[in-house]
């Protein structure tokens, strides 16, 4: 399959979702969640990676364990889905590719979803699982928090929460297409209609309302990390597609981190859709991006 065909696979999937949601605007929450389980389709099955289920800190999880991986090192991954959808299953193969490229294990969490469980349930689940790994003897310097889309916000908020609670934080944070501004103030949200085939601008306020639950203000630094103090934050890697709606969320997060003295890297890749690494194994451009991520991840070890 040509790389261009691979890139079109994700674009066509998003176009299909958008059409289905437009045809039935009152799509039930369960139907939306079923739709987002198709997020696994673009990702090719990673070779030489084993998967197993486990409960970590009371949270259902899936481990991705590549052959020969450094079992001391773990990336805890928060799937995307607007805080209301997605799962460890929908992102299992992506986790496998990340684990294989970084030569670590990846722990994908089925954190609690809104609206049944509004903020801070997602952050609390990640914090609990992270602390469970510390209790098992994993060193914080060997732990990384990562996520895509809304999951990036969960990863960032968890790192901030750990710091504020005086718990040794992770060494790295990885964010794919981060959604971190629940005030929806990023200009690209409103100017990318011709290039982003997924992120629905009209549904943004509804997703925010379900996430915040009518209790947490939109400028809470843990719910909206753009209001956070990033002093002492771990090394940060952000990637984003140049034409996607969350481009400015990624840029603003990067700028906020840099202003606080954080070692932050922004990889802006041309002509990519939202969470484009989900095409791992299917598109050369994506595999090259994962190699850049791996090089960044290993820099401190060189």
Find out if CATH 3.40.50.1820 is the number for domain 3-301.
yes
Alpha-carbon torsion, ordered 222, 223, 225, 227, to 10 deg = -90
CB 66, CB 99: distance < 8 Å: yes
Token pair for 202: 């009209």
**At 240, is the pLDDT very low, low, confident or very high (cuts 50, 70, 90)?**
very high
The better pLDDT of the pair 128, 302 is held by 128
What pLDDT is stored for residue 301 in this prediction? 66
Residue 86 has pLDDT above 90, yes or no: yes
Residue 256 has pLDDT above 60, yes or no: yes
User: For 41, which DSSP code?
Assistant: T
Q: Rounded CA gap, 202 and 184, in Å? A: 11
What pLDDT is stored for residue 3 in this prediction? 45
For residues 183-208, average pLDDT: 88
Average pLDDT, the chain: 95
What pLDDT is stored for residue 165 in this prediction? 97
Interacting residues of 290 by C-beta distance below 8 A, sequence separation 6+? 97, 98, 101, 277, 280
| 235 three-class SS | strand
Which pTM does this prediction carry? 0.96
Residue 4 has pLDDT above 60, yes or no: no
**Residue that has been written with the tokens 């040509």 in this structure:** 2
Enumerate the active-site residues: 149, 244, 274
What pLDDT is stored for residue 15 in this prediction? 94
| 123 three-class SS | helix
Residue 217 has pLDDT above 60, yes or no: yes
Q: How many CB atoms lie within 10 A of CB 249?
A: 28
Interacting residues of 236 by C-beta distance below 8 A, sequence separation 6+? 172, 173, 175, 253, 254, 257, 262, 263, 264, 265
User: Can you list the positions of beta strands (E) in the chain?
Assistant: 49-56, 59-66, 74-78, 105-109, 143-148, 172-176, 235-241, 264-269
pLDDT tens digit sequence for 92-137: 999 999 999 999 999 999 999 999 999 999 999 999 999 999 999 9
Q: Percent helix, strand and coil across the chain, each rounded to 5?
A: 45, 15, 40
- Burial class of residue 135 in the structure, from the number of CB atoms within 10 Å of its CB (0-12 exposed, 13-18 middle, 19+ buried): exposed
pLDDT tens digit sequence for 136-187: 999 999 999 999 999 999 999 999 999 999 999 999 999 999 999 999 999 9
- Burial class of residue 52 in the structure, from the number of CB atoms within 10 Å of its CB (0-12 exposed, 13-18 middle, 19+ buried): exposed
For residues 233-257, average pLDDT: 97
- With b meaning 16 or more CB within 10 Å and e meaning fewer, what string describes 54-87? eebbebbbbbbbbeebeeebbbbbbbbbbbbbbb
Q: Rounded CA gap, 10 and 177, in Å? A: 14
**Residue that has been written with the tokens 């003897």 in this structure:** 137
CB 177, CB 240: distance < 8 Å: yes
**At 20, is the pLDDT very low, low, confident or very high (cuts 50, 70, 90)?**
confident
What pLDDT is stored for residue 302 in this prediction? 55
CB 94, CB 100: distance < 8 Å: no
């Amino acid at each position: 399959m040509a790389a261009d065909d691979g890139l079109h696979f994700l674009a066509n999937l998003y176009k299909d979702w958008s059409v289905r949601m437009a045809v039935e605007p009152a799509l039930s929450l369960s139907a939306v969640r079923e739709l987002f389980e198709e997020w696994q389709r673009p990702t090719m099955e990673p070779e030489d990676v084993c998967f197993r289920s486990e409960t970590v800190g009371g949270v259902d999880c899936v481990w991705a364990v590549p052959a020969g991986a450094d079992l001391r090192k773990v990336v805890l991954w928060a799937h995307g889905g607007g805080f209301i959808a997605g799962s460890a299953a929908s992102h299992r193969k992506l986790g496998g590719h990340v684990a294989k490229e970084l030569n670590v294990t990846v722990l994908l969490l089925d954190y609690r979803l809104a609206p049944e469980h509004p903020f801070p349930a997602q952050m609390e689940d990640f914090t609990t699982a992270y602390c469970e790994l510390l209790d098992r003897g994993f060193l914080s310097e060997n732990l990384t928090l990562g996520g895509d889309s809304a999951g990036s916000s969960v990863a960032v908020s968890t790192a901030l929460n750990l710091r504020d609670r005086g718990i040794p934080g992770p060494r790295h944070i990885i964010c794919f297409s981060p959604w971190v501004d629940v005030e929806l103030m990023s200009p690209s949200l409103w100017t990318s209609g011709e290039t982003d085939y997924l992120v629905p601008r009209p549904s943004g306020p509804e997703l925010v309302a379900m996430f915040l639950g009518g209790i947490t203000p939109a400028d809470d630094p843990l719910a909206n990390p753009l209001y956070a103090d990033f002093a002492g934050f771990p090394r940060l890697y952000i990637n984003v597609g140049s034409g996607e709606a969350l481009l400015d969320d990624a840029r603003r997060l990067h700028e906020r981190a840099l202003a606080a003295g954080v070692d932050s890297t922004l990889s802006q890749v041309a002509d990519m859709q939202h969470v484009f690494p989900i095409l791992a194994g299917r598109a050369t451009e994506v595999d090259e991006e994962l190699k850049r991520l791996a090089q960044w991840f290993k820099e401190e070890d060189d």
